[in-house]
Chains A and B, each alone.
Chain A
C-alpha cells in the first residue's frame, strides 16, 4: 500500500510502483476525469498538476510522485464553484465531445497561474493538447476571457 496526495487528500493505492499515475488515478482512485488518449505524452488528455506544473500523467510512474501534490480536474472547483478557466469554458460553450477538455482545462489553468495575461503566442506554446472535434477557436477565446475575468 502506498500513499499519494491528490486534490488535497492522502489516498492509498496498491498499484505496482511503475504504474503510470494516469492509471492509478483512474483505476485505483476512481478519478476518471483524467483521460487516456495516447499513453506517450503526445495528446495531453491526461494532464494533471504536479506541484502546480501541468504534467502528462501517462508518462509519470506513480512511485516518482512521492509527497508531491497532485491536482486533477476533479480538484479544480471549490465547494462547487468552478475555477476561472472552468467558468470561462462554460461561458464560451467550449467542449464538443469533451474528452480532451479535462486536459485542456488543466493546461489552461496552469497557463493562467504562470501568465495571468497570456498572449496568443503564450497560448500556442502552452496549449499543445490535441482536440479532434476542433474546439481550438473557442479554447483560445475562453482563455482570453478568463484572463480578463
Chain B
C-alpha cells in the first residue's frame, strides 16, 4: 500500500493516510510515494500514534491539528522531536485521517484547530508520544547489545553505548515497534529544550514559493467534474424554483441540481463553464419577512438591548450601580462593532465522491472530525464508511471550522454516484454566505471617586451570540459565556484583568438572522475595543495618564505584560513630532497580551500607523520566530478590520460581494511590528489570536491622542480624522 504526498494527488492508491508534505527540513520536497506503516509487510514501523521511523532514519511525525498558516504543524513537530531526540533535518510530517482516528478509538484525540488551541491543548500528549518512542528505541538497542538501557545515550537519532558502539533509530525501529510502550515517561524541563523553544524555520515553506503546494481548490482526480453553487442570497431563505433547461445545453454543463432546498448548483467539466452557466441560471427565492431586515433594523434591535432590563450576568463584584450613582464623577460611552468577514484567500471548496457504500471528501478544514460527521450526515452513511482527506488550508481564521461547504459537496456528489465532484464557491458566494464575526454594541458607565479611582463599572453588551446559533448546546441556562471573552471573573482562558471593586458586565442577547461564527480572536476583538477605549476615556476624565491609570488596577500578569510593551515602545518618552502612542491589553486564549500603537494623523486627516509594539506572555514559547509572524499577522488582520471591515445588510442580504466592496489592508498600510515575548513558564497559552484584540483599541487610543476625537464605531473608514478645530 502507498500513501500519498502532496504532489501525488492524482494517484489514488492510498487507503490510510494522507501525507500533505513529505518535506524534509532543509531540503526540497519533491513528491514521492512512501510505504505506509499501516502495512504489515512494510519495513516502516509505527512506534506509536505520533511517531513512525523509516529504515533510512527518516522520522514521520503525525499531526492531527490542521495547518492553515499558523505554524502549528512545525511547532508540534518540534515538541515531538524534542522528546524523541531525533535529527530535525530528518523530520517529515503527515496527517492521519479523521476516519482513521475514529477507527483507532481517537488515538490522535482532538482534530479541532481553533481557539489558538493547536499547541496549548496537545503539547502534553504529543511530547509523551515522542518520549515514549525514544524509550522504546533505546530499549531495543539495549536488548540487541544486551546492555542496560541506562548505559545508552542518544543524540540526533544516533544511539551510543558507553563502549563506543553506535546505531541509529532507523536500524532499531523495527525491533522497537515490537516492544511494550513504557507506562510513564518523564518529560524534559523546557530549559533543556534544543529543538522546541528555538526559532526554527517552518516545515512547509518551499512548496509554497514554487507553486507545488496543493490546497483543496487544486485537488484533482481522474473523471472529476467541477461544481459551483448559488445559495439563496438571503441567509435562511429557500429556493422556490429554477429553470435548468435554460443552461443545460451550455458548454461543458453536465448537471443542474438543487441542494438543501436553498441552493442551485451547476456541475460542469470545468469551473469556468460551471460558473458561466450558473450565472445564466434563472432561480426564484422565498425570503419571506427576512427581506425586511436592514443594517439599520439590526442596529435598532441592538440599541434597544443597551438599556433593556433583562440581561445575562457574566461578571459581577460588589454593587456597580450603587457605586456609580454615588461616584464623584460619572462617565458614559456607547460603542459598536460591525459584522466582519474572514475572507480566507482560498474560497470555500471541497471534492466529494459518493457511492452506495462509501463517501470520501478531500478538503481544507479546521476540524477534520466535524467535516467527517458532516460527510456522514449528508451522505446518509455510517461514519465508518466515510473518510475525509485533509488538504492544507488557504487560510482558516475560524471560517473553515464549519462544514457547510463539505455538506454541499457531498449532497452534489450524491446525485452523481461514483463521480468525483469538486465544489468551488465563487468569491461572491463566499462573501455573502459566511458565518460572520457577530455584531454587538456596548454601553459602558464608570464612576470615579474624587481621587480619580474607578469605583464602579457597568458594561452592557448588546448583540449576537455565536453559540446560540452554532452550538446551542453550549449555552448555560440560555447565557452565552463566550460573549464575555476577556471579561470572565476567573479561569485560565480569558479573565478580566482589572480589579474594580464594583463591577457588572452583562449581555442582552439579540440575534439577527445573519449567521454569526468564530472569527480569529472571536469576542475578544470587540470586547477589547470597548474596554480599552473606555479605560482611556476614564483616565482622561480622571486627569491621569492612561498607562498609570491602568497599572494601578491591573492584576500582576496583566500588569507585567502591559509594562513590558510600554517599556519596549518607549511609552512616555518623546516621540517624533506629530506621533502619538495608544495602549491596550487583554487576556485571551490563555495568554496575556498588550500593544502600544504609534500613529500620526496629518492635517488633512490621513492616518498613518507607524508601529505596533506587542508583548505576549504565552507561558511557554515553542517557536519564537513563528510567534513573531503570528503576532505581526494578527495586526494585519485586526487592523484590516479596524480600518475597513464591515458587512452590511440590505433587504435581508449581505451587500458586500468581493474585495472591491470589502477592502482589506495591503502592504503600504502595514505598520512595523515589534514583538516582545515575556513567557513566565508556568502555563501554556495560545498565540494565533490573542494580539488581534489589541490592534484596534491601541490604534483608536492613539488616534484620540492625536486628534482629540474618540472613534467609538468601527470601521475607521467612515470617520473624518481631521483635528477638531
Contact = CB atoms under 8 A, between A and B. Distances in A.
Interface string A94-105: 111111111001
A60 B217 CA distance: 20
A134 B612 CA distance: 14
A31 B205 contact: no
Given A37-B427, A97-B392, A136-B636, A124 B667 contact: yes
Contact of A98 (B251, B344, B394): B394
A76 B210 contact: yes
A101 B209 contact: yes
Nearest to B428: A39
A63 interface: no
Interface stretch (B68-76, B288-296, B435-443, B598-606): B68-76
Contacts of A105: 209
A35 B667 CA distance: 19
B699 to A, nearest CB: 15
Given A42-B658, A73-B211, A37 B345 contact: yes
A123 B670 CA distance: 12
B395 interface: yes
B272 A19 contact: yes
Interface in A3-44: 15-16, 19-20, 23, 26-28, 30-40, 42-43
A90 B629 contact: no
A135 interface: yes
A134 B632 CA distance: 7
A137 B658 contact: no
Interface in A65-87: 72-74, 76-77, 80, 82, 86
Nearest to B666: A128
Question: In this complex, which of B424, B629, B658, B660 has the most chain A Cβ atoms within 10 angstroms of its Cβ?
Answer: B629
**Chain A interface bracket (under 10, 10 to 19, 20 to 34, 35 or more):** 35 or more
A19 B251 CA distance: 12
B632 A97 contact: no
Contact of B209 (A27, A43, A89): A89
A101 B201 contact: no
A145 interface: no
Interface string B209-228: 11111110110100000100
Interface string A108-149: 000000000000000111011111111111111000000000
A54 interface: no
A31 B666 CA distance: 26
Question: In this complex, which of A45, A96, A97, A133 has the most chain B Cβ atoms within 10 angstroms of its Cβ?
Answer: A97
Contacts of A19: 272
B28 A80 contact: yes
Contacts of B133: none
Contact of B272 (A23, A40, A95, A128): A23
Given A23-B270, A43-B659, A73-B211, A95 B205 contact: yes
Contacts of B395: 97, 99, 132-133
B668 A134 contact: no
Given A73-B210, A96-B71, A134 B345 contact: no
Given A35-B346, A38-B658, A124-B667, A97 B68 contact: yes
B209 A82 contact: yes
A82 B210 CA distance: 8
A124 B670 CA distance: 10
A101 B214 CA distance: 13
B344 A132 contact: yes
B455 to A, nearest CB: 40
Given A33-B211, A95-B208, A101-B209, A40 B394 contact: no
Interface of A: 15-16, 19-20, 23, 26-28, 30-40, 42-43, 45, 72-74, 76-77, 80, 82, 86, 89-90, 93-102, 105, 123-125, 127-140
Given A90-B206, A129-B667, A138-B632, 13 more contacts: A34-B211, A37-B347, A42-B659, A76-B210, A94-B209, A95-B202, A95-B209, A97-B394, A99-B215, A99-B344, A131-B345, A132-B345, A140-B670
17 contacts: A16-B251, A36-B217, A38-B658, A43-B345, A90-B206, A90-B209, A95-B202, A96-B71, A99-B345, A102-B211, A132-B640, A133-B395, A134-B636, A134-B670, A135-B633, A136-B636, A136-B665
